[in-house]
A and B are shown apart, each in its own frame.
Chain A
Amino acid sequence: MKRYVYINDDNLASDIYCDNRISNRKYTILNFLPKNLWEQFSRFMNQYFLLIACLQLWSLITPVNPASTWGPLILIFAVSSSKEAWDDYNRYLSDKEANEKEVWIVRQGIRKLIQAQDICIGNIVWLRENDEVPCDLVLLGTADPLGFCYVETAALDGETDLKTRSIPSACMGIDVDLLQKIKGAIECPSPDKDIRRFDANMRLFPPFLDNDVFPLTIKNTILQSCYLRNTEWACGVAVYTGNQTKLGMCRGIAEPKLTAVDAMIDRLTGAIFVFQIVVVIVLGIAGNVFKDKEGRKLWYVQYPKEGPWYELLVIPLRFELLCSIMIPISIKVSLDLAKSLYAKFIDWDVEMVDPATGIRSNAANTAISEDLGQVEYILTDKTGTLTENKMIFKRCCISGRFYGNESGDALTDALLLNAVSTGSADVILFLKVMAICNTVIPVRSKSGTISYKALSQDEEALVCAAARLHMVLENKIGNILDINFNTSPMRYEVLDTLEFTSDRKRMSVVVRECQSGEIFLLSKGADETILPLTYSGQQVRTFAEAVEQYAQMGLRTLCLAWHKLEEDEYQEWASMFKEANSTLVDRESRVAEVCQRLERDLEILGVAAIEDRLQEGVPETIETLRKAGINFWMLTGDKMSTAIQIALSCNFVSPEPKGQLLIIDGKTEDEVCMSLERVLLTTRITESEPKDVAFVVDGWALEIAHKHCRKLFTELAILSRTAICCRVTPSQKAQLVELLKLCDYRTLAIGDGGNDVRMIQQADIGVGISGREGLQAARAADYSIGKFRFLKRLILVHGRYSYNRTAFLSQYSFYKSLLICFIQIFFSFISGVSGTSFFNTVSLMAYNVFYTSVPVLVSVLDKDLSERTVMQHPQILFYCQSGRLLNPSTFAGWFGLSLFHAIVVFVITTHSYAFEKSEMEEVGMVALSGCIWLQAFVVALETNSFTIFQHLAIWGNLVGFYAINWIVSSISTSGMHTIMFRLCEQPSYWITMILIVATGMCPVLALKYLRYTYRPSKINILQQTERLGIIEPQSRSSSDKDPPTLSVYEPLLSESPSATRRSVGPAQRFDSFQSPSPPDSTHTRKDN
């Protein structure tokens, strides 16, 4: 599908495509009600309640006034509809503001000011500096004579650096006044959401240029929501408008994620539903039998001899309505409220604010906080997530000579400085590549200092280091680069840039030295993509060793290379490159293929090693979370040795002899499978031992393992607590998440860059780090945090509390509904199984909505253990992970409790209010009060910490109960007129209440006490420890908290020889175990 945009054609464009009206609204005024209701009723629970409510309209079967269901139902619907309506109204307002913003466009050859929503496809839009781009434009002209402009794309992809955009070559040199009259056609794909691609062609109509087709890329566009910066003006033609812009297409409603807790609640609801059906059938049959055997003898009931055809259904349906309360209508509202509060607590947490940047944590997805407490696997990115992503050039190896090995910093290495000042050709060439082969933009401030704006942290590090070594990148205007080496200026023209992609893992530039006219190809990239491209004679052994050595120190390595090009060789290639760049279909792979043709016969100049420091607190965080029983997988695009090194230094894997690394290796299917089997065998054997076994796999082997030995790999994934996957692509990361999810594990993916987005979206919980690689990951994620170390708090504190609270809240909701429902069922046995309701309408309605919802809502403030205790004993998370607090057996406990309490209330009420006191309204009210009293004490007993809110809610609710009933009792037309006053005057009422509470609670208290004291759970023990102020033997908790972790972390990064040996150890050990000479295999791969 393609679209043709005719530039500046006022007649054609407007009606074919949509205008530039942005609409994020879900509803309009007209369709709001039907659409919203439809959405709400697509949930099973709501359908159920609606069915019940409709059945209640049939007065023959309804036990109570239909209001008892309709009231809460309408209330719940009103609440969620008005929330939706409010959100939609806000969206409407912000749309309106954007739509009515005024912009300059060209109409009939004249510049006009119109509202942004009236822009049509093909219109030429003029922007001034700092203007927001109103729709997707293809640039036609800028203030810059070379056709460049700068845009800030933060709103689009979260990256805060400025990006250069240029006008297509076709428009180069067109006069400003003529731009308004320009005519032409752009052939571009139908709107899509890929903000990194725009494969289109442009053709200008005469008189501007001949009928030549020019390729357009994303570089020639400025997209909606970007800002024009550092450029006086720019103009462009609108190609996508309104909701069809790249931004508009990206905007999508994410699939709502369902937490494990939600799934469990749904399962329990289903079970209750089945139970309810059974009860209804049993009671229905019993009711019909009673009716025929006994009921017809009750002359005062006057059963007709012949009933209508549906007669047999009447009693079961009555019981269905009577039991419908078993599934609490309030549970969804309560849970939604609780969940949004959990999310707020995360947003509010001052301890999760990054002190350096002030970035605070944010829960974008408010619905899945419980899942945080149930995480079993964390899949983490390395760069920027575990490390700071603050790159510093540390060492280098230039033509076989190592710099920086002694001092630890090449920039202060006297040898290197000496080589620079003496003008050693190798070193200078190396520095040139460092300074030129990049996409960095130097920005000169007013004071004359130069700062660099770079997309990649590596490039910035290299350029800065080159500048320190007197090779200063001074200026970059268009294609022209100015470099100053020891005050002698050099000028280069950049002919082509062969961009970096994560598949190519290298980038190159083709430059022409302006003085000599010579053309060079300068490349840099990962060793395994550069080293195989060397010309046949070069010895790469030293470089490979250098790479290996640096990688073992945890440094990132880049190989720098160059190649001199002949003029005709270049020209031939350039035309191919141009052609590849203008293909519409599959441009990326075509371009990559063409690039490959030029990037050959390289001469390796050297290896640069860049340090990426670990983020603060990473080892401690990982150690704590591993103690909490969470398994870590590291998924990185980096080299295996670097990855292993980082993994060791951040407690990911334990060093020998406690830990063991198993490498899955191989180039062919058989090799990989063999190796996988061996690893699996070892893992199985060592499983019983208290040993840390981690497997290491690279992207290549992973691909094969995933394709051909999926079963084995899955088994390994289940067995292994730790894994390091290096050299993996974004889609492989997502695949691994998928794999773990299929094994029914709760996964959390954490990352910071665009390459982590897919994994983050795939995982049960996605956490994004708002880091230096932009906010892309953070925006795709469910939670965004500033630093990796906040993950500890997010999981152990927020996740754990959320899980505990929801577990109580949901089970309690069922408890209270079952309680009142059981009483109704018991009552039906003494009311001739006829389906009479024991309670009146008002009570039934208010019971779920007011009396029992309020006290339990404060359980969202409950804390079973203090945050400090949890942090000290992260193992306690086990209770959440394995779902110990919400599962069928705990639920059975609550079920039993509600049955017991129902028996207590019913028996005591019917016996103490027997004979002359057995007036229907009174007895019903006594039973209801009994339930309210009991539930208050149940909440109190289950509450671990009483704040003022708990007291207010629990005891205030009791007061509220009486207040509401007194009010209702004073209304003379209500059924319960004077009842509550009457009861409150009777001593027997209060005596009955006390009896109910004591009988109901004493066994519960006794059981709880026995269990708490004689079979305590770990949570109980910690509660006792923390509250009785028992000081633990310090040896365990504190010793593994502070110093040792640091001591593991420090020496591995510095060059202590022991550390190096330790880190090599496991790998070597495995190598010897895995006989078919793996060192060779890796080297041969690099060498060829």
Chain B
Amino acid sequence: MNSSTPSSSAAGAGSADSTAPRRNSKRPKYSRFTQQELPACKPILTPKWVIGTFLLVSVIFIPIGVVSLFASRDVVEIVDRYETDCIPEALRNDKVGFIQSDRSKTCQRTLRVPKDMKQPIYVYYQLDNFYQNHRRYVKSRSDQQLRNNGSLQDTGPCKPEDNVAGGPIVPCGLIAWSLFNDTYGFTRNNQQLNVSKRGISWKSDREHKFGKNVFPRNFQNGTLKGGATLDPDVALSDQEDLIVWMRTAALPTFRKLYGKIEVDLQRDEIINVTLQNNYNTYSFSGKKKLVLSTTSWLGGKNDFVGIAYLTVGGLCFFLALVFLLIYLIKPRQLGDPSYLSWNRNPSGH
């Protein structure tokens, strides 16, 4: 045998198997993690803890519930449903026909202030049964087009309100097209009540979502007229009604901010509202309401949170009591080994 390169006996047959027995013999390293012996806290549900928890929850929840309920009750709210009343009685059997006609739709409403209302008083319009969250509707907008001037043609998702003969519609899409167009004018003691329409939309929307140099174009120029028209000389970022409207609502009943009244209203004052009842909710029997409301730390008038808190708190208190009673009447030792009968069919769950 001639000399050859020193032969190596390293395993290299290319089979993972061949190394397996060797790898086996390596002693595994000890650590608390690898041995699954990490220090652990092992709580168990003792009556003390559970009853304590329920008591604690009720003790916390009931006060919060009371506070929330008070906050909600403090809010003064005037709701005026007007969609039927604002149609002349003779025409009420063809409401859709009325709203689509060219008649005068001015309507006078009188509101009585039930309690003192501190400024700012928010003016909302509320629509019921209006599906702003409908899939065809909610997608029908172009954020690019709204944001910057260069994306005029970006009307992809806006169908069928994307283009008219004269080019792309700005702002395109069904949402913008169906912009709410009832208007309200308020007078108190024959004096004009100023409704501020500045700052009713989100600041972030004005600054980032709606361009300062994007102006309405071809809006409501199509064959089918939707809602309100927009002043083509005002940039979208200043069209606050549009911005508010374009924040679509998740629920079919929603309120949108119309404006703010920045004076206090006294109890029993009479407010006259002159409204233009333009918006068609009659085809789908939707309601329209005018809402004047103050606000609290929790928002508008909403008893739900307070009642829910009281209910949950009360239930927890009740459960705690029941558990305590059961515990006292029928004490059961935890971990009693006498319950450990190892027959083949334990009935436990």
Contacts and interface: CB of A to CB of B under 8 A. Distances in A.
Interface in B121-143: 122, 124, 126, 130-138, 143
A113 B3 CA distance: 11
Interface stretch (B181-189, B191-199, B267-275, B311-319): B311-319
Interface of A: 22, 24, 59, 63, 91, 94-95, 97-99, 101-102, 104, 111, 113, 126, 128-132, 154-155, 158, 224-225, 227, 232-233, 247, 251, 294-295, 297-304, 318, 344-345, 347-351, 353, 357-360, 362, 364, 627, 629, 770, 775, 778-779, 784, 801, 827, 830-832, 834-836, 838, 861, 863, 873, 875, 878, 884, 908, 910-920, 922-924, 944-950, 972-973, 975, 977-978, 982, 986-988, 991-992, 994-995, 998-999, 1002, 1005-1006, 1008-1009, 1011-1028, 1030, 1032-1033
Interface of B: 1-2, 4-5, 7-9, 11-18, 20-21, 23-30, 34-36, 38-47, 50, 53-54, 57, 61, 64, 68, 122, 124, 126, 130-138, 143, 147, 157, 160-161, 174, 177-178, 202, 204, 208-209, 224, 226-227, 247-257, 280, 283-284, 297-300, 302, 304-305, 308-309, 312, 315-316, 319, 323, 326, 332, 334-337, 339-340, 342, 344, 346, 348-349
Contact of B44 (A99, A873, A950, A1028): A1028
Nearest to B284: A297
Contact of B15 (A101, A251, A301): A251
Contact of B305 (A801, A827, A995): A995
Contacts of A920: 132-133, 138, 247-250
Between A128, A784, A801, the greatest number of chain B beta carbons within 10 A of the residue's beta carbon is seen for A128
Given A225-B13, A834-B131, 9 more contacts: A24-B16, A101-B12, A128-B4, A302-B136, A360-B26, A973-B143, A1006-B319, A1014-B326, A1023-B42
Contacts of B251: 830, 910, 914, 918, 923
Contacts of B248: 919-920
A946 B40 contact: yes
Contacts of A1032: 337
Nearest to A1028: B335
Give the dominant DSSP class at B's interface.
loop
A1017 B283 CA distance: 60
Contacts of A102: 4-5
Given A130-B9, A914-B304, A915-B126, A358 B27 contact: yes
Contact of B299 (A917, A1009, A1030): A917
24 contacts: A99-B14, A126-B1, A224-B13, A297-B284, A300-B227, A349-B35, A350-B28, A350-B30, A350-B35, A775-B21, A827-B133, A831-B252, A832-B134, A832-B252, A873-B340, A911-B304, A913-B250, A919-B249, A920-B249, A924-B250, A946-B41, A988-B305, A1002-B315, A1026-B335
A1025 B337 contact: yes
A916 B250 contact: no
Contacts of B30: 350
Contact of B134 (A24, A301, A947, A1020): A301
A168 to B, nearest CB: 20
B7 A128 contact: yes
Contact of A923 (B34, B250, B323): B250
B24 A784 contact: yes
Contact of B45 (A132, A298, A977, A1012): A1012
B325 to A, nearest CB: 13
A1019 B18 CA distance: 43
Greatest chain B CB density within 10 A among A986, A991, A1005 is at A991
Contacts of B339: 1016, 1021
Contacts of B39: 947-948
B305 A991 contact: yes
Contacts of B257: 916
Nearest to B323: A1009
A671 B342 CA distance: 39
Given A916-B124, A1013-B45, A1021-B340, A995 B309 contact: yes
Nearest to A999: B312
Contacts of B309: 991, 995
Contacts of B349: 884, 1011, 1015, 1017
Given A301-B131, A917-B299, A988-B299, A359 B24 contact: yes
Contacts of A1030: 334-337
A227 B300 contact: no
Nearest to B175: A300
B315 A348 contact: no
A149 to B, nearest CB: 13
Contacts of B137: 300-301
B205 to A, nearest CB: 8
Contacts of B157: 59
Contact of B336 (A627, A908, A922, A1021): A1021
A22 B316 CA distance: 71
A918 B134 contact: no
Contacts of A302: 136, 160-161, 174, 224
